[in-house]
Amino acid sequence: MVTITDIANACGVSRATVSKALNGAPDVSRETADRIRETAASLGYLPNATARALKLGRSYNIGVLFSDETGGGISHEYFSRILESVKAESERLGYDITFISKDLGRMSMDYYEHAKYRSCDGVVIASADFQDPAIVRLAASEIPTVTLDYSFDNCSSILSDNVRGMEALVRFVHGKGHRRIAFIHGEITSVTQKRLASFRRTCAELGVPVPAEYIRPAVYHDPRSSGLATRALLALPDRPTCILFPDDLSFLGGMSELEKHGLAIPKDMSVAGYDGIPLSQVLRPRLTTYRQGAERMGAEAARLLIEQIEQPDTWIPQQITVEGELLEGNTVADIG
Amino acid sequence: MVTITDIANACGVSRATVSKALNGAPDVSRETADRIRETAASLGYLPNATARALKLGRSYNIGVLFSDETGGGISHEYFSRILESVKAESERLGYDITFISKDLGRMSMDYYEHAKYRSCDGVVIASADFQDPAIVRLAASEIPTVTLDYSFDNCSSILSDNVRGMEALVRFVHGKGHRRIAFIHGEITSVTQKRLASFRRTCAELGVPVPAEYIRPAVYHDPRSSGLATRALLALPDRPTCILFPDDLSFLGGMSELEKHGLAIPKDMSVAGYDGIPLSQVLRPRLTTYRQGAERMGAEAARLLIEQIEQPDTWIPQQITVEGELLEGNTVADIG
DNA sequence: TAATGTGACTTAATCGATTAAGTTAACGGA
DNA sequence: TCCGTTAACTTAATCGATTAAGTCACATTA
């Protein structure tokens, strides 16, 4: 391994001078600096991030947290889009990313300890149980933290616009003439609550009644549970004309249930999803859904976090809401 | 930050003794060791991975490489399953994982340099253009490397069993009576070549003729291009009775094309996919496909890599082939 | 009794890079 | 000529942990 000492020897200067030359310090002469840089290049010198981190107390490494337990793991489309954009933006800004988990080999530690152990400069919490004391501890710690789809006091956060997303969907189906709109929602989280509230408020604004039995619980990303919820809705004496699903994958469960009942989409039942995963746009009929701005969310998360890391003095917590877009498929019939 | 020095002071011993006590060295008395461990716990001591890495020349950190350019990014189901299992197994064995990329901020470096810079103990190459000189350099370097779905000399590799996967599919549809089997394949890579070869060989073994026009190129994970390939197949005077798609997502493109022609699956055309993504199993009809053993592949990759890192002397390159399973849906009609 | 051994420490060097503080020679101005 | 200044270095401490080598008191053995 080529170190700063090798360059120093090769150039007949001290290690200090090499370090300064490579970092562009002012008190190295032009010629010496050039000579050092050339030698460094010719020897194939690479700085050692570890040594630098130890000395500087800055690792240029940020942790990302995807809690697997909540099922919001990396393999869900929405989260992998977020991960990918956090990664891309971080790299653009000169930071690597490392996963933060509970426990590591035989060491048992919580998220905060893990992040400390790896001396992460900051952490992006992308999917987690925000009630988990370990998450709360991390968010409340001195480590700069940005959360996605949840807000802690004193942490910046990036929020998908669930309020406006749900509103857009409701207004869209209302515009198509629907007045009996059912909503199958995922597990109760802050995201779900926002969508529920927005659903209710928008319906109220539009003068659309929302019978209690039109709101059915299910589990995100679980076609089976949405299928059951769909069945329950179909059993109602006063069936809805349109069903909003918790997400696109869940819609598939509903779809097969509708099929079983011999109901065609959108002729006999209108439906809409949420997320706008690529699949939704190649399905026939193309699914009407709301695509969250995951790419921008990830990028903004990285940007905010690194800003906080690099300018801790001027930093104040920020909440950024990222809008998505309504993907108007053809699963909502015009019954106006 | 609580360091080893704080513990040393609190216990009235030297830092060396603390380090030894915490690492279970034999030359520390029972009582002293206990006292040190208690003090460490009560002070909330956490080892500093950075300092340890610097001294030991071991970071307990492995790099993972998902080249974005090839489109085999993190967000594809197969790769995210691999990532997730590499992560889980690495963590179980006490290693963190960090993404390796080209370039980092204003530093331009190749993969090898990046891995060196972060002192990764090893690298898993999960998706990449294996012709890329930067990838070749990394694989040929002194850094332990495991590749997925590709073999380099002197590197261990984990291979999805494309040969047996394709064979299983062909034998399955053949068993259902199909004799005119078309195959839409993805871009020519080593994986694709294996599938193509296996397709041809199995057909030959079964005595099924394979007209050249039954083999159509397309692009992986791109429903549009598979749609076009499907259209070309349908235009043939002697239509196939069954189409094998490059992957499940691509099948969706074919599906909508079939729909346009008023052809029902599987009545008018049988189809099969590849990958076995969750979606494929909630679609109606349920897709016949081959699910690759991504979870085992990721876990084996991590295991092999860490084995090589920890026992470099006894190490020899290994190739492990991981079998998947045929998911027998109902998109293949029995026309026997 | 002297030599030898041993258990339980401490000392000090080391990993690679950074940086405050110190040194030295050259130069300018009075 | 002498002093102050400045450019261009070097010295040495430091980040936190590890470990080979050294020390020392005490026990054992011939």
Q: What is the pLDDT of residues A40-92, one digit of tens each?
A: 999 999 999 999 999 999 999 999 999 866 555 787 888 999 999 999 999 99
Question: Count H helices, E strands: chain B?
Answer: 12, 12
Q: What is the CATH number of the domain that holds B25?
A: 1.10.260.40
- Strand A242-244 vs strand B181-185: parallel, antiparallel, or unpaired? unpaired
CA B322 to C1' D21, in angstroms, rounded, equals 50
- Same-domain pairing of A243 and A204: yes
- Residue A69 forms part of a structural domain: yes
Residue B125 φ/ψ, nearest 5 degrees: -95, 105
What is the predicted pLDDT for the residue at B168? 96
* Per-residue confidence band for B77, with pLDDT thresholds at 50, 70 and 90: confident
What are the C-alpha distances in Å from B5 to residues A53, A58, A113, B20, B32? 19, 20, 19, 13, 15
| Cβ atoms B163, B194 nearer than 8 A | yes
Question: Cβ of B119 under 8 Å from any chain A Cβ?
Answer: yes
Q: Report the chain A residue with the minimal C-alpha distance to residue B118.
A: A49
Read off the tokens for B199.
């397709």
Q: What is the CATH number of the domain that holds B235?
A: 3.40.50.2300
- Strand A61-66 vs strand A122-127: parallel, antiparallel, or unpaired? parallel
- Residue B93 forms part of a structural domain: yes
Nucleotides in C strand less than 7 A from protein CB:
7-12, 14-21
Q: Please check the confidence at residue B103 and state whether its pLDDT lies above 90.
A: no
CA B14 to C1' D24, in angstroms, rounded, equals 16
Residue A105 φ/ψ, nearest 5 degrees: 60, -130
Nearest to A92 among B88, B93, B105 (CB): B105
- Per residue of chain A (336 residues), give pLDDT as tens: 899 999 999 999 999 999 999 999 998 999 999 999 999 999 999 999 999 999 999 999 999 999 866 555 787 888 999 999 999 999 999 999 999 999 888 888 999 999 999 999 999 999 999 999 999 999 999 999 999 999 999 999 999 999 999 999 999 999 999 999 999 999 998 899 999 999 999 999 999 999 999 999 999 988 889 999 999 999 999 999 999 999 998 998 999 899 889 999 999 999 999 999 888 887 878 999 999 999 999 999 999 999 999 999 999 999 999 999 999 999 999 997
d(CA A264, CA B3): 67
Q: A22 CA to chain B: closest CA distance, Å?
A: 12
How many structural domains compose chain B?
3
CA B296 to C1' D17, in angstroms, rounded, equals 36
Lowest mean pLDDT among A311-320, B155-164, B274-283, B320-329: B274-283
| Cβ atoms B102, B134 nearer than 8 A | yes
Positions 5-34 of A with beta carbon below 7 A from strand D are 12-17, 20, 27-32
3-state helix, strand, coil in chain A (%, to 5): 45, 15, 40
d(CA B247, CA B270): 15
Is the CB of B91 less than 8 angstroms away from the CB of A98?
A: no
- Residue A332 forms part of a structural domain: no
- Same-domain pairing of A225 and A261: yes
Is the CB of B117 less than 8 angstroms away from the CB of A249?
A: no
- Same-domain pairing of B178 and B241: yes
- Residue B240 forms part of a structural domain: yes
Q: Please check the confidence at residue B159 and state whether its pLDDT lies above 90.
A: yes
- Same-domain pairing of A268 and A171: yes
Q: Collect all residues of chain B within an 8 Å Cβ-Cβ radius of residue A61.
A: 98, 118
Q: B209 CA to chain A: closest CA distance, Å?
A: 32
CA B155 to C1' C14, in angstroms, rounded, equals 32
d(CA B332, CA A39): 65
What is the predicted pLDDT for the residue at A246? 96
Q: A87 CA to chain B: closest CA distance, Å?
A: 8
d(CA B105, CA A94): 3
Predicted confidence (pLDDT) per residue in B271-293, tens digit = 999 999 888 887 878 999 999 99
Residue with tokens 């690298």: B123
Read off the tokens for A170.
């409701």
What is the predicted pLDDT for the residue at A140? 97
Read off the pLDDT of each residue in B291-320 and give the average, rounded to a whole number: 96
Q: Please check the confidence at residue B93 and state whether its pLDDT lies above 90.
A: yes
Read off the pLDDT of each residue in B48-58 and give the average, rounded to a whole number: 97
Read off the tokens for A323.
């809008």
Between the two ends of chain A, the Cα-to-Cα distance in Å is: 73
- Same-domain pairing of A65 and A138: yes
- Same-domain pairing of B200 and B140: no
What is the predicted pLDDT for the residue at A71? 58
**Domain carrying residue B93:** 61-160+295-324
- Same-domain pairing of A84 and A20: no
- Same-domain pairing of A217 and A258: yes
d(CA A284, CA A181): 22
Please give the mean pLDDT across all residues of chain B: 94
Helices (H), chain B: 4-11, 15-22, 30-43, 49-56, 77-92, 111-117, 133-140, 162-175, 190-206, 223-234, 248-260, 294-310
Q: Report the chain A residue with the minimal C-alpha distance to residue B227.
A: A282
Q: Please check the confidence at residue B73 and state whether its pLDDT lies above 80.
A: no
d(CA B220, CA B187): 7
Residue B200 φ/ψ, nearest 5 degrees: -65, -45
Best residue in B43, B61, B75 to probe A by mutation, most A CBs within 10 Å? B75
CA A28 to C1' C20, in angstroms, rounded, equals 16
Beta bridge partners of B289: B327
Q: Report the chain B residue with the minimal C-alpha distance to residue A279.
A: B249
- Same-domain pairing of B127 and B65: yes
Predicted confidence (pLDDT) per residue in B191-250, tens digit = 999 999 999 999 999 999 999 999 999 999 888 899 999 999 999 999 999 999 999 989
- Residue A54 forms part of a structural domain: no
- Same-domain pairing of A228 and A268: yes
Inter-axis angle of helices A223-234 and A248-260, to 10 degrees?
50
What are the C-alpha distances in Å from A239 to residues A168, A169, A184, A297, B99? 23, 19, 14, 37, 50
Nearest to A53 among B46, B50, B255 (CB): B50
Read off the tokens for B31.
């009582």
Read off the tokens for A71.
């099922």
Report how far Cα A197 is from the mean position of its chain's Cα atoms: 21
Q: Which amino acid is at B35?
A: R
CA A138 to C1' C23, in angstroms, rounded, equals 48
Question: Cβ of A122 under 8 Å from any chain B Cβ?
Answer: no
Under 8 Å CB-to-CB from A118, ≥6 apart: which residues? A59, A61, A63, A98, A100, B49, B50, B96
Q: Collect all residues of chain A within an 8 Å Cβ-Cβ radius of residue B37.
A: none
Give long-range contacts, CB 8 A cutoff, 24+ apart: A132-140: A132/A67, A134/A102, A134/A110, A135/A65, A135/A67, A135/A111, A137/A110, A137/A111, A137/A112, A138/A65, A138/A110, A138/A111, A138/A112
Helix (H) or strand (E) holding A148: strand A145-148
Nearest to A116 among B46, B51, B113 (CB): B46
- Residue A335 forms part of a structural domain: no
d(CA A285, CA A289): 12
pTM metric for this prediction:
0.91
200-259 in chain A: CB under 8 A from chain B: 223, 249, 252-253, 255-256, 259
Nucleotides in D strand less than 7 A from protein CB:
7-12, 14-21
Residue with tokens 């319906």: A203
- Same-domain pairing of B166 and B156: no
d(CA A126, CA A76): 12
Predicted confidence (pLDDT) per residue in B249-272, tens digit = 899 899 989 988 999 999 999 999
Helices (H), chain A: 4-11, 15-22, 30-43, 49-56, 77-92, 111-117, 133-140, 162-175, 190-206, 223-234, 248-260, 278-282, 294-310
Q: Please check the confidence at residue B70 and state whether its pLDDT lies above 80.
A: no
SS3 assignment, position B327: strand
Task: Evaluate if the CB of A30 falls below 7 Å from strand C.
Answer: no
- Residue A309 forms part of a structural domain: yes
What is the predicted pLDDT for the residue at B303? 97
- Residue B29 forms part of a structural domain: yes
- Same-domain pairing of A223 and A259: yes
Inter-axis angle of helices A4-11 and A30-43, to 10 degrees?
120
Q: Which nucleotide is nearest to A52 (CA to C1')?
A: C17
